[in-house]
Structure 1
Amino acid sequence: MALLESTHRRKNPLTGRWVLVSPHRNNRPWLGATEAVNESVLPKHDESCPLCPGNTRANGDSNPDYKYTHVFRNDFGALTPNESEQSQSLESDNDLFIADEASGECRVICFSPKHNKTLPELEHDALHEVVKTWKDNYTELAQHYECVQVFENKGEIMGCSQPHPHGQVWAHSHLSTEIEAEDTQQLTYFKKHGSAMLADYVQKEQADKTRVVFENEHWLVVVPFWAAWPFETMIVTKDNIQNFSQLNDAQTDSLAQALKVLTTKYDNVFNCSFPYSMGWHNAPANRSSDEQHWRLHAHFYPPLLRSATVKKHMVGYEMLGESQRDLSAETAASILQAASTTHYKKTAGHTDDA
């Protein structure tokens, strides 16, 4: 399409926001040499790490000798439970000074006892346990909170304060801004078309195939048409599923496979531990309304652009106007499609596979 080869804007139907695309600046497959990062070699167990098995955390608690995942309440959580029986009102009659009470719970999920193994380096059974842990914690917290956010910040460049591979779960009664926007947009689409937005989107991307990175029986991995980050992707369910609690064993197992493929491809783009922020969007919980307009999905937002050390910064126009990208979604997809599903550490002379 001629439009897609010139400067244009694309609308994100999940949020209603736009992204400016300037393909003439960088609309070509990556042909330059990949720049490897001098990554530090981490031990399998770090005596000073508060997330490793058997070690003591800042609050004095000791981690068990866990074999797969380990979950604990965040010692420095951004949300705290509302201990009072009656909520305090923060309402104001002034439209310029509006506040609302926010309470909830924050948990940390250690993906593995191994201090030096990120998601793409885990075996399938270990990844299956990660997905099952996401499901179990979502199911428990959704009984008490309307919004349960499962996410991971990978790498120092994304503000990760601990190198031990881990993610988080934040649960609260209010709808986060992103979930509220996606809920509104998906419901509007459903009322207009009589079908779920992401169900229709999956079918369109399956037919087009240009932006599809991977798919199996239950999941589609795609660079979304409206992607803002250079190698942004979504993992979307192909089934009629609104939240984690609905996953069966087959869907859980195939999600572990999709995670393995995507995160391995990420690492292989620039032969580095590819940083990103990722998170799962579930339909709001504890609501009496039908949530058929929703489909469970995850967003991956990696910042790397041209090499392992060149980062895309959302500054200037992106902060004051709208998101902008040079590398088109289609070009990013072609790079990820071409990336190997065998992790680079398995082919670059690395011998530590334990």
Structure 2
Amino acid sequence: MKRTVTHLADGRELIYFDDRDDAVRDARDRRELPPPPPASEIRYDPILDEWVAIAAHRQTRTFLPPSDECPLCPSTPTRSSEIPAADYDVVVFENRFPSFSHRAGDLESVSGLTEVRHGCGRCEVVCFTSDHNSSFASLTPSRVRLVLEAWADRTAELSALPDVEQVFCFENRGEAIGVTLHHPHGQIYAYPFVTPRTRMMLSSARRHTDGNLFADVLAAERAAGERVVVENEHWTAIVPATARWPYEIHLYPRRQVPDIPALSSAERDAFGPVYLEVLRRLDGLFGFPMPYIAAWYQAPVRVDRDLAYLHLQVFSSQRAPGKLKYLAGSESAMGVFINDVRPEQAAQRLREVAL
């Protein structure tokens, strides 16, 4: 793998990850761009013990442009995009409309009990391929391995930033999920706090004093077998018994590791075949590309790394052809999910998809 660092016209960092060591990345961004926006602000909610980001500048971000105006496609002689090169393998760059940033601006005072801070951190875009009409499920295992190397690289580098407490790699796919760009890509958020869901998971793991909670859940699922979708020597994909979404799959490495950089070479090689099969089974359920969110749960940077267990959660709001699960009163107001599909049925349907 070759890693090449350059900068866009407004000073944002861009990194090429190439399979070939002889790749030349000397194209320059010729656009005239305004300076990047300052960091958002984060406000502390003392009732829910959570931080909320206020990022008003994101209202102007690009929204579902036509394919010939896609900012994630390679640049051409007649049109410059976010990627100056005429082609690429995998690219990571600073988001032009970040929710968190190291570029601190002025903070306005807020009345009440709310503590206000700069939304320090970083937001990056990860382009999986230069092919606008492709998808993650269409990647080769070797390309997935390169994406995994990019995730590992960025997790390690962002974790070293002084204000970052957790690094989150994820992909949103499909308009039903809320994507604003169709080009195959994901994002990375480097948060200035540990996220609420992570804190809740780790609190449960801390109370589980007989072994590691995640490892024990994985062992029980593998022993039961009925919710296992696919597995190999290093990875297991399961529909959890408590799935909240109609189709929800969790991918665990067999070995407990805190984050992506901690994966061995063999584990990195073995990830692609399992994950690609999961995505292709999802796409095969209803005969059209399944909308989904794929979310990596990594250990916080500084706390509870011994309790955490790296895993990937993939879930879809598509419950049937033409029918979506919406987060209505119970889910949105109370946080109590009601699933219309039995997890055991979901796992069986996924296993029965003809590939």
TM-score, scaled to structure 2: 0.75
Written as runs of structure 1 = structure 2, the 5 A alignment for 1:102-181 is 102-144=119-161, 145-181=164-200
Alignment: residue pair count: 287
The equivalent of 1:326 in structure 2 is 340
Q: For residues 199-348 of structure 1, what are the structure 2 equivalents within 5 Å? A: 199-285=215-301, 287=302, 291-307=305-321, 309-321=322-334, 322-340=336-354, 342=355
Deviation at 1:59, TM superposition (A): 9.5
Quick one: distance in 1 between partners of 2:290 and 2:117? 37
CA distance in 1, matches of 2:139, 2:166: 29
Distance 2:103 2:68 in 1: 35
The answer to whether the 8 Å contact 1:220/1:238 transfers is yes
Partner of 1:31: none
Structure 1: gaps (5+ residues): 1-44, 343-354
Report the equivalent of 1:10.
none
Give me the identity figure in percent: 27
Q: Give the equivalent residue in structure 2 for 1:184.
A: 203
**SS of equivalent residue, structure 2 residue 205:** helix
> Residues 311 and 339 from structure 1, CA distance in 2 versus in 1: closer, same or farther, beyond 3 angstroms?
same
Counterparts in 2 of 1:239 and 1:91: CA distance versus 1, 3 Å: farther
In structure 2, C-alpha distance between the alignment counterparts of 1:180 and 1:76, rounded to whole Å:
27
Displacement of 1:297 after TM fit?
Answer: 0.7
Mapped to 2, the partners of 1:115 and 1:326 lie a distance apart of 34
- Structure with the bigger RCO (C-alpha within 8 Å, sep 6+) is 1
The separation in 2 between residues aligned to 1:170 and 1:196, in whole angstroms, is: 27
Q: Distance in 2 between matches of 1:323 and 1:338?
A: 26
Does the aligned pair in 2 maintain the 1:135–1:245 contact within 8 Å?
A: yes
Residue 50 (1) aligns with residue 71 (2)? yes
Which stretches in structure 2 are left out of the alignment for 5+ residues?
A: 1-65
1:306 offset after TM fit, Å? Answer: 1.4
TM-score, normalising length: structure 1 = 0.75
CA offsets 1:64-103 (integer angstroms, 9 cap, x no match): 234321111111111121548xx989898x65x3444421
Q: What CA distance in whole angstroms lies between the structure 1 residues aligned with 2:238 and 2:129?
A: 27
- C-alpha deviation, 1:199, in angstroms: 0.7
- Aligned partner of residue 79 in structure 1, secondary structure: coil
2:199 counterpart letter in structure 1: E
The amino acid that maps onto 2:332 is M
1:251 deviation in Å?
A: 0.7
User: In proportion to residue count, which structure has more strand?
Assistant: 2
Which stretch shifts more, 66-75 or 45-54?
A: 45-54
Give the superposed CA RMSD: 2.5
SS of match in other structure, 2:247 = coil
Q: Quote the offset at 1:55 in angstroms.
A: 5.0
Q: CA separation of 1:337/1:141 partners in 2, compared to 1, >3 Å: closer, same or farther?
A: same
CA contact (8 A) 1:196 1:292 kept: no
Judge conservation of contact 1:55–1:62 (CA < 8 Å) in 2.
no
Change (3 A) 1:62 1:263: closer
- Residues 101 and 122 in structure 2, CA contact (< 8 A), matched pair in contact too: yes
